Homo-oligomer: A and B are copies of this chain.
Amino acid sequence: MDSNIKNKYELQAQIMKALAHPARLLIVKELCNREMFVCELQKLIGDDISTVSKHLSILKQAGIIDDRKEGLRIYYRLKLKCIPMLLSCSENILIEKTREEIEILQSLSKP
């Protein structure tokens, strides 16, 4: 594979990797509605706060989220409008997959 093209896909894979974790998906999903600060997200997710902070830094460095300081708190928010659409596409894939699995199960129980 040509090395420039390879590099491009490497960078794009980095973005997908950032989204490839349940806690990080939940974070992004919540940030579709409103900006939130770290403690809020920590309560939602339930992991150690240092773990949540690390998830946030992965998402930030991937260019998916952004932050702003307000007093002691750091608010995180989505960076681009297309991100909810990206999530909903991956949800579609999940829904379709589930639909097919159910179909297979049903066909097995038929005469």
Contacts and interface: CB of A to CB of B under 8 A. Distances in A.
A94 B10 CA distance: 11
Contacts of A45: 1
Interface stretch (A13-21, A32-40, A68-76, A102-110): A13-21
Nearest to A21: B13
A96 B100 CA distance: 37
Q: How large is the interface on A (under 10, 10 to 19, 20 to 34, 35 or more residues)?
A: 35 or more
B80 A64 contact: no
Number of copies: 2
Contacts of A8: 94
Which among A19, A24, A64 has the greatest number of chain B C-beta atoms within 10 A?
A: A19
A89 B85 contact: yes
A44 interface: yes
